[in-house]
Amino acid sequence: MSTITNHLPTAQLQALDAAHHMHPFSANGALGKEGARVITRAEGVYLTDSEGEEILDAMAGLWCVNIGYGRDELAEVAARQMRELPYYNTFFKTTHVPAIALAAKIAELAPGDLNHVFFAAGGSEANDTNIRLVRTYWAEKGQPDKNIIISRHNAYHGSSVGSASLGGMAGMHAQGGIPIPNIHHINQPNWWAEGGSMSPEEFGLARARELEEAIEELGENRVAAFIAEPVQGAGGVIVAPDTYWPEIQRICDKYDILLIADEVICGFGRTGNWFGSQTVGIRPDIMTIAKGLSSGYAPIGGSIVSDEIAEVIGGTEFNHGYTYSGHPVAAAVALENLRILEEEKIVEHVRDVAAPYLKEKWEALADHPLVGEAKIVGMMASIALTPDKASRAKFASDPGTVGYICRDRCFANNLIMRHVGDRMIISPPLVLTPAEIDEMLVRIHKSLDEAQAEIIAQGLMKAAS
Ligand code: PLP
């Protein structure tokens, strides 16, 4: 076989891709026929494909490239670390400087007494760690039956068997024999789709109280933890009404339930604070981190746990760990990424510049005929597509049909925007400038107009009279 490089023609790369590469979350047969777009380079907030097209990446990869693409400093740190100590583990009785330095830095950044980090290679592994951590914690405290974890329908917490069980994605639960036992799901606080005649505030309280009802039903002595993202990401960038989180915190405190904040998306500046928990005002006992920890430049994640949990777990041998827990190259890259986030004041840039600028323009999208609510927190945002915004109507077509049309229009207009059902979402690099925000909005408006025309042509929505 000839050497496969960027210089091969697109069609040849696509054919090889179709023949040998299985894509995640894809129907590979259909994708192989269509041909996947080949991404060859990236700089700042733009990707380049094998045809030389420049694509504005409004998803920061998979919600992860917080500092933007093309930062040489990270490449240099990785090369230096690879030469010095490319790999060693931290099992048993060894450690190394990148893991020590990164854990100490994360403890410094994390709020409250979240001072201890258990590393993983990504968010799924970290959430698997959390399942074992909380169950071991309660067992060590003499309550082994306090082992049920409550999560939310439509949540995404990863793709491993454990983390996908925590997640509440129906399509994932339909395949491969999940969920595992003793995971329970309550409803998500999606007022637009499910709020009915309730005000957002009433609905937020009602959805939070589902946690209390579940605890009462399952038994306070059976429920170990509640896990949720401060702002639900892959579930559709669902921003809970203001009443939701204070009530969740009250319930966790009242029943002695550990609160796990999945910060895989919300962490490291995405919501305008270092952690989403600070934005929504909660005090988690455990945080899951990944993605923005290294801005996606190296695979790394982890669980940050409180002093109390670390002390209890420390009383036993915790029989858990990954070959790549605290991988020195990934840890060194993550540390350099945190240096850039801090020294370049990127979290402040989100809070003071990018998010306020985007918010005004984003909320104005609700004036588009195809758009119902437009929600935004920091640099993650969503719009609900609707055939009739006054009644918050859903499309009669299968959920996702309209979202898919809109997503494809964006793709054709060189804009990466994702759909979740009939909701469109963005999570761009945090370094997006006001001029790039303007450009993104131009492409979004064009794509929405084209999608609306196509939806009307397909008879899925009436033309405005
Ligand atoms: N948790 C959340 C909230 C996520 O969004 C994701 C991935 O998108 C994960 C966990 C899983 O992380 P990973 O893909 O790194 O395993």
pTM tops 0.90, yes or no: yes
Contact 185, 217 (CB under 8 A): no
Task: HSE, CB side, 13 Å, CA atoms: give it for residue 308.
Answer: 10
234 within ligand 1 shell (Cβ under 6 A): yes
Q: Residue 432 C-alpha to ligand 1 middle, in angstroms?
A: 22
pLDDT reported for residue 462: 86
Task: Tell me if 293 CB under 6 Å of ligand 1.
Answer: no
CATH 3.90.1150.10 domain range(s) in the chain: 37-67+345-457
Contacts of 460 (CB under 8 A, 6+ apart): 387, 395, 396, 397, 401, 402
> Mind listing the pLDDT tens digit for each residue in 128-168?
999 999 999 999 999 999 999 999 999 999 999 999 999 99
| CA 271 to ligand 1 center in whole angstroms | 16
Q: Which of 57, 111, 43 is nearest to 266 (CA)?
A: 111
Q: How sure is the predictor about 464, in pLDDT bands with cuts at 50, 70 and 90?
A: confident
Residue 425 Cβ inside 6 Å of ligand 1? The answer reads no
What would the two tokens of residue 119 be?
Answer: 């590393």
| pLDDT above 80: residue 184 | yes
- Nearest C-alpha to atom 7 of ligand 1 is from which residue? 158
Residues in Cβ contact with 390 at an 8 Å cutoff, skipping those fewer than 6 apart: none
Question: What is the 64 CA–ligand 1 centroid distance (Å)?
Answer: 10
* Ligand 1 contact via 437 beta carbon (within 6 Å): no
Ligand 1 atom with the smallest distance to the CA of 229 is: 3
Per-residue model confidence (pLDDT) at position 463: 84
The pick from 156, 227, 229, 275 for probing ligand 1's pocket by mutation, whose C-beta has the most ligand atoms within 8 angstroms, reads 156
Report pLDDT digits (tens) over 406-435.
Answer: 999 999 999 999 999 999 999 999 999 999
pLDDT of residue 420: 95
Tell me how far the alpha carbon of residue 459 lies from the centroid of ligand 1, in angstroms. 36
Kindly give the distance from the C-alpha atom of residue 212 to the centroid of ligand 1, in angstroms, as a whole number: 26
- C-beta 61 within 6 A of ligand 1: no
- 164 CA → ligand 1 middle, Å: 10
Q: What pLDDT score does 283 carry?
A: 98
Contact predicate 389/372, CB 8 Å: yes
Which ligand 1 atom lies nearest to the CA of residue 263?
A: 3
- Whole-number Å distance between alpha carbons of 404 and 91: 45
Residue 272 main-chain phi, psi, to 5 deg: 95, 0
Using a 6 Å cutoff on CB, does residue 262 contact ligand 1? yes
- Determine whether the shortest distance from the Cβ of 167 to ligand 1 is under 6 A: no
Q: Which residue has the higher pLDDT, 461 or 42?
A: 42
CATH class of 37-67+345-457: alpha beta
Global ipTM: 0.99
Q: Taking 70 as the threshold, does the pLDDT of residue 465 lie above it?
A: no
Amino acid at position 64, single letter: C
**What separation in angstroms does the CA of 54 have from each of 32, 41, 241, 429?**
23, 10, 37, 16
In tens, the pLDDT along 324-369 reads 999 999 999 999 999 999 999 999 999 999 999 999 999 999 999 9
Q: Above 70 in pLDDT, residue 2?
A: no
Greatest Cα pair distance, the chain, in angstroms, is 73
| Residue range(s) in the chain whose domain bears CATH number 3.40.640.10 | 72-343
Separation of alpha carbons 18 and 2, rounded Å: 17
CB-ligand 1 contact for 290 (6 Å cutoff): yes
Q: How confident is the model at residue 188 (pLDDT cuts 50, 70, 90)?
A: very high
Kindly tell me if the per-residue pLDDT of 1 is higher than 70: no
Q: What is the CATH number of domain 72-343?
A: 3.40.640.10
CA of 160: how far to CAs of 28, 88, 123, 229, in Å? 20, 24, 10, 18
Q: What is the dihedral of CA 352, 303, 86, 41, to 10 degrees?
A: -40
The dihedral formed by the CA atoms of 202, 203, 209 and 210, expressed in degrees to the nearest 10: 160
Q: Is ligand 1 within 6 A of the CB of residue 32?
A: no
| Mean pLDDT (the chain, rounded) | 97
Could you read off the pLDDT of 282-313 as tens digits, one per residue?
A: 999 999 999 999 999 999 999 999 999 999 99
Mean pLDDT of the 208-220 span? 98
Place of tokens 């894509």: 23
Q: 158 CB under 6 A from ligand 1?
A: yes
Q: What is the phi-psi region of residue 425: left when phi exceeds 0, alpha when psi lies from -120 to 50, beta otherwise?
A: beta
d(CA 231, CA 261): 10
